[in-house]
């Protein structure tokens, strides 16, 4: 599912279901679920094979307690990191699809619609494109830096080397 470009899929599905926020969110969620499920599954399998889980089983802890109190807190970190790194991708996909006319429709506000409006008058007032594009770039950079900071905070090996500097 991740191998197929989301933009091409949206251009194919958009006219079938109709352009709008629900179609756009559904498409982004449907294309992202397999990736998140794969990461979650591999993280859970890695955690279940560790010694502390065997020690918890030996002490008589139930499966629910082991999963909710011990495995889930260790698995949520990678999911949060990936989600924060995917937010810029989702923002760019929404803006691109709205710019192409497949995303949200007016009167719903969107960076893609603002860029489209500015692009129509680019010969007379080019600053409209910059005014619509600059917040898009800043939001993308902000969420990228957030993902980097979360990765540094949740990765114990990397976190120690960062703190030593």
Mean pLDDT of the chain: 82
CB neighbours of 81 closer than 8 A, spacing ≥ 6? 147, 150, 151, 154
CATH assignment of 6-164, among 3.30.70.940, 3.90.1660.10, 3.30.470.20, 1.10.3720.10 = 1.10.3720.10
What pLDDT is recorded for position 157? 66
Q: What's the pLDDT score for residue 138?
A: 92
Main-chain dihedrals φ then ψ at residue 49, nearest 5 degrees: -90, 5
pLDDT of residue 1: 58
The domain ranges of the chain are: 6-164
Residue 85, C-beta contacts closer than 8 angstroms, at least 6 positions apart: 143, 144, 147
Task: Specify the pLDDT at position 164.
Answer: 47
Distance CA 51, CA 91 (A): 41
**Residue stretches of the chain with pLDDT short of 50:** 161-165
For residue range 30-63, list pLDDT tens digits in order.
888 888 999 899 988 988 888 988 898 899 988 8
pLDDT at 163: 46
Chain center to CA of 116:
24
DSSP E strands, 28-103: none
């Amino acid at each position: 599912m991740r191998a197929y470009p989301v933009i091409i899929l949206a251009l194919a599905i958009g006219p079938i279901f109709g352009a709008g926020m629900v179609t756009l969110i559904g498409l982004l969620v449907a294309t992202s679920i397999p990736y998140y499920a794969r990461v979650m599954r591999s993280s859970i399998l890695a955690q279940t094979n560790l010694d502390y889980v065997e020690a918890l089983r030996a002490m008589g802890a139930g499966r629910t307690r082991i999963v909710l109190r011990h495995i889930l807190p260790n698995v949520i970190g990678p999911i949060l990191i990936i989600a924060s790194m995917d937010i810029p991708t989702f923002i760019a996909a929404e803006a691109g699809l709205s710019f192409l006319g497949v995303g949200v429709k007016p009167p719903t506000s969107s960076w893609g619609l603002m860029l489209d409006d500015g692009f129509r008058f680019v010969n007379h007032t080019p600053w409209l494109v910059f005014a619509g594009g600059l917040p898009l770039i800043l939001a993308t950079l902000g969420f990228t830096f957030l993902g980097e900071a979360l990765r540094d905070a949740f990765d114990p090996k990397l976190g120690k080397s960062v703190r030593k500097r």
